Structure 1
C-alpha cells in the first residue's frame, strides 16, 4: 500500500510541476532535417492521458455487461482497445510521424466501430465519418510538406514562420472535432454501440482536433486568421448543436448534439486565446459526458433498446441509481453551481465579456447557453418526471454497470475543483459587471423554464440539411424524385429507344411512329424528304 501511495504522490508532483520530458528516436537525417519519432511528457499530455485511461477503463467495464450476448465480443473489445491506443499515441505525439499514426488510427478504428452492427444506417454513418476525417488526413499530409519546407518535422518549437502551417492544421482539427461545416458525421455516428459512443463523444475522437490546437497554441499564439476561424466555427457549431437538440426525440442523438454544442464552446475559447480554459473544459466535459452516455445505456438495457424520449417516461422509477446519475450529468451540462462543469464553462462565458470580442459572438454564445438548458431539462422531464409510457424490464443489478457509473459520477462532482487546483490559470477570477453576470444566469434560467414548459416534440429541425447537421444527400430524393426517375429512364433509353417513346415521350413517340409508318405507303421519295426534314429539325434544335 505504501508503494502505491508513493507512486501516486510522485505522479501528482510530476503533474503539478512544469517540467517536460521528450523522448526522441531519430529515423534518418536528410538535408539537415531530422525525421524522428518524438514523444512528449508534460502536464498536458499526462493529465489528458490519465483522463482517457480512466474513462476507457469505465467504458470497458460497462461494455462487458452491455455486449455480453454479442457473438463477436472479443473482436469488439480488441477494436475498442486499438481505438484507445491510437488516441494515446496522438496525445503523446511530438512529431508528424506519431501524429499521423494516432490520427489515422483513430479514423480507421472509429470506422470499424461505427459499422459494427452492419446495417444500412451504420454503413452510411461509417462512410460519412470516414470521408470527413479523410479531409483532415489530407490536410495533415499537406502540412507535412510545409513542415519539410520549413526545415522541421516536429511541432514542439514553432515560430511565427509557421503561421500558414498552423492555419492548415486548425482546419484539419475542425474536421475531426465536427465543427461547422463538418458537423453532420457526429450525430450520424450514433449508429455505433453505446460504449463506443461514450468513448468517442467524451475524450477520444471528437477531442483529438481540439487537443491538437491546444498543443499548437501552447508554444505559439494563434494568428488573427486562425483565431477568427475558430471563433466563427465554434460559435456557429455551439448554436446549431443546441438548436438541433431541442427538436430531437432520440435520446442518444440529443446527447450527441450536446457534445457538438460543448465542442463549440471549447473551440470558441481557443479562438479567444484561452487554451488552458479550453483544456480545463475538455477534462470536465469528458467526465460528465461519459457518465451521461453510460446512464443512457442503462436506460436502453431496461427499455429493450427504446431511444424515443416520448416513450421513456417513468423509467427512472425502475432504476434509481442510474437516474440520479443521469440527473447529475444533465445538471453538469447546464453548468449548475458546485458541479464540475460550472468551474470551466461559467469561467469561459465570463471571459467572453472580458475578451473584447464582437457582439455577434456574445449573442450566439448566450443563445446557445439558453438552448443547452432547454434541451437538458426537456430530456429530464421526458425520462425522469413523466408517467410510464411503456413496459420495461427490471433494471440490471450488475456491478459491471453500477461501478463505472459511480466512478464517473464522483468525477462529475469533484473533477472541476480538482483540475482547477492542477493549473494556476484555472483558478483565475473574472471580474465583470453585475449586469453581465446576471445575463449569463438569466439566459440559463430562461432555458430551464422553456425546457419545462415547452416540449418541442417535432420530427425535424427546420433547415437541418442546410445547417450541415444532416448530410445534404439525405432525404433530398423526395424533392428530386421526378427528375431522378426521368434521368433513369433516359439512361435506360440509350439502350432501348422504344422504352423512351413508351414511358417518357409517349406523345412524341406516337407522332414519330406515325411519321415513320406513313412514308412506307407513299413511296421512297416521300420517306427520304421527311427524313431530311427530321434531320434538319434535330440539327436546328441542337443549335
Structure 2
C-alpha cells in the first residue's frame, strides 16, 4: 500500500507537468502575465498581500520541477521498497515539492517565505531521514546555513515596509534603499544556492536518500536562490557592485566544486560537487547581466542532473551501497541501459555537442569573452571548465569503463527504475534545443575570434585527456576535500547543537522518543511537586501567568 502511494503521486505529478507544458506553450505564444493578489489587511497605506504570479517563467519552471519529481517518485517506488517507513518518506518528499512550487509562483515576500521556509523544514527532515550521526550533522549544517538566509529575508521586510508594499515584482529605480534591499535578497539567495562561502552544506546533504539528492541538487532547494535573483533581474538591472559580488562568488564556487571533485572518490559527493560547480556557472551568468541565459542553464541542468543521480542511485543498488568509485567497474556489462544514461548525463555536464547543456553552458563561456570581466575571473572560469572535464572523464573511466572490482547484483532493473531514466534522458538530449526554439529570450549570439572559440574546446579536451590519464587517488587532499576548510568551520559551529540533541536521543531512537523521554523523566517531578505543600501557593501564580501570556498573544494578533 505504501509503495503504491508513490506511484499515485508520480502519475499525479507527471499529469500536472503535462498540463503545465500545454499551458506554458500557450503563454510562450501570447507572452502574457497574470498576477493574483490576496489582501490580508491594510495598515495605514501599506497592504499586506499574498501575491502569486503566473507567467511563462514560473509555469515553465514548475513544469520542469514536477516532471523531475514525477520521475523521482517512480524511482523511489523501487529504491525505498524495503523501508518500513516509506509512506512517511513519500509524504515529506511531496511536501518538499509543494513548497518549491509555492516559491516558484511567489510574487511577494509573504508568499516567498511560505515556500522558502517550507523548503528549509522539509529538507531538514529528509536529510536526517536515515537517523544516523552523519545524517544528523549534515542536517544541522544545512539548517544553520539556511537559517542565516532566512533571517536576512525577514530583516528585508522592514525595507519593504518603508516602501509601503511587499511585492518584489513592483520594485522600481525610484524606491529608497533599493540597492540595500536587492543586496540582502541576493545574499540570502547565495546561502540557499550554496555559493562561496556558504558551500559546505551541499556535499554534506548527500547523507539523504538518493531520490532526495536527485530533487535537491537538480530543481528544488539549491535552485531556489538563483530563481529569486533571476526574478529580481527581470524587473530591474542589478547594481554594478552586486554584479561584481555575483561574478566573484560564482567563479570561485565553480572552481571550488570542480577542483574538489577531482580528488573525491565518493560517487555521490562527486555529483554534489558537480552541482556546486554548475550553480557557480549560473550565478556567474547572472553577474554578466544574462538572467535569461542563467534560467536556460537552470532548466537544462535540472534535467541532466536528476538523470545523473538516478543512474548513480541505480548503480548503488547493484553495488550493495558501496559509493567508492575505486571499487566500481563493469557497470556497462551488467547494466548497459544505466551505463548509457550515466554517460549521457556526464556528457551534458561537460557541455558535449548537441546535448542540452551545450546550448547554455557554452554560450555562457562565449559571452564571458565578450563581456567586460577582469582577467582573474576569466582565468578562474576556464580553469574550472578544465577541472569539470577532468573529474567527469575520471569518474566515467572508473565506473563505466573500468574492470569489475567487486561482485555485483545480477539483476536489479525493472520498469520503475528504467522508465524515469528514459524520460529524463529524452529531456537531457533534446531539452536544450526544444526550450531554445520555444523561448526567443534565451537566444543569444556571440561573435568571437577563432582563437577564443577554439580555446573553450581545447580546455575541455585537455581536461578529458588529463582525467583519462590520471588514476583514482587513495587519499584526498584535505585543502580541497574540505572546500578550502569551510567544512570544519561549519562542523564546529553545529556540533554543540547536534551533540545536545544526541544526548536527548532525538534521532537514534526515532522522532517521537523525546516525548516519551520527557514523560518518563519530567512527569514524576511534576507529580511530586503537586503532592507537596507548595502547589496551592504556586497554582494561582501559574494560572495568572498563563492568562497574561494568552492576553498578550491575542493582543498581538488583533493588532
Is residue 2:68 matched to residue 1:55?
Answer: yes
- Once the two structures are superposed, the pairs formed by residues 148-227 of structure 1 within 5 Å of their partners are 148-160=161-173, 161=175, 162-227=178-243
The structure-2 alpha-carbon separation of the partners of 1:66 and 1:7, relative to structure 1 and needing over 3 Å to count, comes to closer
- Give 1:159 deviation, angstroms: 1.5
The answer to whether the 8 Å contact 1:181/1:468 transfers is no
- Once the two structures are superposed, the pairs formed by residues 265-280 of structure 1 within 5 Å of their partners are 265-280=281-296
- Once the two structures are superposed, the pairs formed by residues 12-411 of structure 1 within 5 Å of their partners are 12-160=25-173, 161=175, 162-411=178-427
The answer to whether the 8 Å contact 1:183/1:468 transfers is no
TM-score, scaled relative to structure 2 = 0.83
Structure 1 vs Structure 2 CA RMSD: 1.7
- Give 1:217 deviation, angstroms: 0.8
The structure-2 alpha-carbon separation of the partners of 1:146 and 1:233, relative to structure 1 and needing over 3 Å to count, comes to same
Instruction: Tell me, in whole angstroms, the C-alpha distance in 1 between the residues paired with 2:108 and 2:489.
Output: 36
- Give 1:210 deviation, angstroms: 0.1
- Give 1:224 deviation, angstroms: 1.1
The answer to whether the 8 Å contact 1:182/1:468 transfers is no
The CA deviation string for residues 408-460 of structure 1, in whole angstroms up to 9 with x for no partner, is 00000000001111221322221111111111011000000001001241422
The CA deviation string for residues 85-129 of structure 1, in whole angstroms up to 9 with x for no partner, is 000000000011110110000000000000000000000000000
SS across alignment from 2:197: coil
- Return 5+ residue gaps in structure 1 as ranges: 477-543
The answer to whether the 8 Å contact 2:192/2:222 transfers is yes
Instruction: Tell me, in whole angstroms, the C-alpha distance in 1 between the residues paired with 2:348 and 2:114.
Output: 34
The structure-2 alpha-carbon separation of the partners of 1:302 and 1:434, relative to structure 1 and needing over 3 Å to count, comes to same
The structure-2 alpha-carbon separation of the partners of 1:458 and 1:261, relative to structure 1 and needing over 3 Å to count, comes to farther
The answer to whether the 8 Å contact 1:248/1:458 transfers is no
In structure 2, the residue matched to 1:528 is none
- Give 1:283 deviation, angstroms: 0.2
Instruction: Tell me, in whole angstroms, the C-alpha distance in 1 between the residues paired with 2:20 and 2:349.
Output: 33
Q: 2:431 aligns with which of 412, 415, 418?
A: 415
Aligned residue pairs total 473
In structure 2, the residue matched to 1:525 is none
- Give 1:225 deviation, angstroms: 1.5
Instruction: Tell me, in whole angstroms, the C-alpha distance in 1 between the residues paired with 2:18 and 2:293.
Output: 30
Instruction: Tell me, in whole angstroms, the C-alpha distance in 2 between the residues paired with 1:300 and 1:26.
Output: 49
Instruction: Tell me, in whole angstroms, the C-alpha distance in 2 between the residues paired with 1:473 and 1:225.
Output: 27
SS across alignment from 1:463: helix
The answer to whether the 8 Å contact 2:300/2:356 transfers is yes
Structure whose CA Rg is larger: 1
Instruction: Tell me, in whole angstroms, the C-alpha distance in 1 between the residues paired with 2:250 and 2:411.
Output: 39
TM-score, scaled relative to structure 1 = 0.85
Farther off after superposition, 148-157 or 369-378: 148-157
